[in-house]
């Protein structure tokens, strides 16, 4: 299991991460834009929003990866969570495919009496993923990469 920091930005993720890359060095491990979403998701995005970052990750060292995405108005409306500087941070729990039971256990235990943003479920990027705010107001993500099926 690995715990990482997951940041949300309001349209300037790419600028921020190019800055972080200049400070920490290294190369981006993943970079996906909202325009990469599968068409069957039915999300209508402007050409500007399609260029925004859906997910980016920058390994800092062997133990830590800094990750982020741009939050758009449509996402905020769907999740009923407005973007607020200062609360735009998640703790991301990342597990291997062999740890699916642990992912479910951690998601259920940590989200108890909290607010589920996205139920733990399979995603188009090949992971078991869910997000929530715990009963103390801390935002969490659980991501368990699944083996290629």
| Average pLDDT of the chain to the nearest whole number | 85
Q: Report the candidate in 146, 145, 78, 134 with the shortest Cα–Cα distance to residue 108.
A: 134
Q: Is 44 helix (H, G, I), strand (E, B) or coil?
A: coil
Task: Give the mean pLDDT of 16-25.
Answer: 89
> What CA–CA distance (Å, rounded) separates 130 from 105?
12
State residue 127's pLDDT score.
93
Q: Where are the domains of the chain?
A: 1-87, 89-149
Please determine whether the domains at 1-87 and 89-149 fall in the same fold group of CATH.
no
pLDDT reading at 139 higher than 90: no
Hey, what are 1's tokens? 């299991």
State residue 8's pLDDT score.
85
26 touches 58 (CB < 8 A): yes
10 touches 71 (CB < 8 A): yes
Angle at 135 between CA 59 and CA 68, to 5 degrees: 20
Task: Give the mean pLDDT of 83-103.
Answer: 81
Task: Give the mean pLDDT of 86-112.
Answer: 87
pLDDT reading at 25 higher than 60: yes
138 burial (CB, 10 Å; 0-12 / 13-18 / 19+) is: middle
With cut-offs at 50, 70 and 90, classify the pLDDT of residue 45.
Answer: confident
Task: Give the mean pLDDT of 56-60.
Answer: 93
Instruction: Give CATH for domain 1-87.
Output: 3.30.720.100
From the candidate CATH numbers 2.102.10.10, 3.30.70.141, 1.10.357.10, 3.10.180.10, the one assigned to the domain spanning 89-149: 3.10.180.10
Beta bridge partners of 109: none
pLDDT reading at 27 higher than 90: yes
How many angstroms from the chain centroid is the CA of residue 90?
8
State residue 73's pLDDT score.
65
State residue 75's pLDDT score.
58
- Better-predicted residue by pLDDT, 73 or 99: 99
Percentage of the chain beyond pLDDT 70 is 84
State residue 41's pLDDT score.
60
């Amino acid at each position: 299991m690995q715990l990482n920091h997951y940041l949300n930005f309001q349209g300037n993720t790419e600028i921020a991460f190019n800055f972080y890359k200049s400070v920490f060095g290294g190369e981006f491990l993943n970079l996906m834009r909202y325009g990469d979403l599968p068409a069957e998701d039915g999300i209508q995005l402007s050409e500007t929003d399609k260029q925004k970052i859906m997910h980016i990750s920058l390994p800092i060292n062997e133990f830590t990866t800094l990750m982020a995405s741009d939050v758009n108005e449509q996402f905020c409306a769907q999740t009923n969570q407005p973007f607020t500087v200062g609360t735009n941070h998640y703790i991301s729990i990342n597990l291997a495919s062999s740890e699916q039971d642990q992912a479910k256990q951690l998601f259920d235990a940590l989200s108890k009496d909290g607010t589920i943003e996205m139920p733990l479920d399979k995603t188009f990027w090949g992971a078991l993923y869910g997000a929530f705010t715990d009963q103390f107001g801390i935002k969490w993500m659980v991501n368990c990469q699944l083996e290629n099926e």
